[in-house]
Amino acid sequence: MFDVATDTFLPALTLTRQLAQAVPLPVVTAGGLMTGADIAAALGAGAAAAQLGTAFVACPESGASAAYRAALLQQPPLATALTDVISGRPARGLVNRFMLDVDQPGRPATAAYSRAYAAGKALVAAAQQAGEPGFAVQWAGTGAGRARALPAAELVRVLADELRAAMPISN
């Protein structure tokens, strides 16, 4: 987990390059990767692998609600932001009423992970019961606006095709 107070917020590919040069371990790039070309860029930066998260949220097989998938696919894309108010740990999600109403400047410090997470779950459940969808938890990375509503198997095929097309030809 990163520390928001000291993190320099390097782009994923810049961080990948630095890590791949500095450590003898395999580096897995995650963050903002949505296409095969993004995977190729991560591998080109020195990653041994790429991890895609948000790219699969819009797939019908994901556990995301229809409202979450619709918000993810909205055009123009919804903004994303880091917040700790939902769980007590910093995470990036679609900016919605939960973030706008709760994550205000000058607010009290967020409780530790387990307490904040329990409180967040209770707030989301109460809001859903009251018919207020704006308090849903909708985690999403910086590439959220490039999500595609494809079945997961088809998305994997598309990603593989895009990766092959983006990789330099080697002899």
Q: Does some domain include residue 77?
A: yes
Three-state DSSP at 2 gives coil
Q: Does some domain include residue 68?
A: yes
Count the domains in the chain: 1
User: How far is residue 165's CA from residue 89's CA, in Å, rounded to a whole number?
Assistant: 38
pTM for the model stands at: 0.88
Q: Does some domain include residue 89?
A: yes
Q: Does some domain include residue 13?
A: no
pLDDT-based confidence at residue 7 (cuts at 50, 70, 90): confident
Helix (H) or strand (E) holding 28: strand 28-30
Domain containing 63: what range?
57-146
User: How far is residue 62's CA from residue 111's CA, in Å, rounded to a whole number?
Assistant: 29
User: How far is residue 170's CA from residue 78's CA, in Å, rounded to a whole number?
Assistant: 39
Per-residue pLDDT reduced to its tens digit, 28-87: 999 999 999 999 999 999 999 999 999 999 999 999 999 999 999 999 999 999 999 888
Q: Does some domain include residue 109?
A: yes
Q: Does some domain include residue 105?
A: yes
Q: Does some domain include residue 6?
A: no
